[in-house]
Amino acid sequence: MKSYKVLTVCLGNICRSPAAQGILESVATKRGVFLELDSAGTAAYHIGNPPDSRSIKALHQVDIDISRQKARQVTKDDFHEFDWILAMDSENLFNLKKIQPKNSKATLVMFGEFNDQAKFGEVADPYYGGDDGFAEMRKHLIAIADAFVHHLHSNRED
């Protein structure tokens, strides 16, 4: 069975992208799809830090543990290492396109494009809000992850 290497990306790698990584791992495991996952940020604000405690809490509520993840910044090597790089919003997609090396193998898209619940493919950043925003982010990411894993599963090459 084909496996995929997937990188989820947001700005600081402490809210959306670590949550997306944890949710994708959970959804893929339940569906029997093998993914190698990581997450990163386009900015270097939080390198080495764990995810935001509100992201950890929101995912813990659905039995997903992301507490051991550590923030890192996207590198040019990521574009050659990963099959998919999934941006959480258009600003991060723009920043990723600026550093994407020519002839890289990664497919670079907005994660929200896989589910029509996302406005313009965007996953809203809950960082400056309260717990409700993190619960909404979790719900949104679960729907998108399910659609993405379905896409991979239905288009796989065994």
| Number of independent structural domains in the chain | 1
Q: Which is the catalytic residue, given 15, 16, 138, 146?
A: 16
Active site annotation includes 16: yes
Q: Which is the catalytic residue, given 10, 15, 78, 138?
A: 10
Residue 91 is predicted with a pLDDT of: 97
CB 117 within 8 A of CB 144: yes
Supply the pTM of this predicted model: 0.96
Query: Nearest-CA neighbor of 5 among 72, 66, 86, 75?
Result: 86
Q: What is the 3-state secondary structure (H, E, C) of 37-68?
A: EEEEECCCCCCCCCCCHHHHHHHHCCCCCCCC
Q: Which is the catalytic residue, given 52, 125, 138, 146?
A: 125
Active site annotation includes 15: no
CB 113 within 8 A of CB 148: no
Residue 153 is predicted with a pLDDT of: 87
Instruction: Tell me the residue range of the domain where 105 lies.
Output: 4-154
Q: Are strands 35-41 and 107-110 parallel, antiparallel or unpaired?
A: unpaired
CB 125 within 8 A of CB 119: no
Q: What is the CATH number of the domain that holds 47?
A: 3.40.50.2300
pLDDT 10s digit of each residue in the chain, 158 long? 689 999 999 999 999 999 999 999 999 999 999 999 999 999 999 999 999 999 999 999 999 999 999 999 999 999 999 999 999 999 999 999 999 999 999 999 999 999 876 666 789 999 999 999 999 999 999 999 999 999 998 886 55
Residue 119 is predicted with a pLDDT of: 63
Residue 2 is predicted with a pLDDT of: 81
Active site annotation includes 31: no
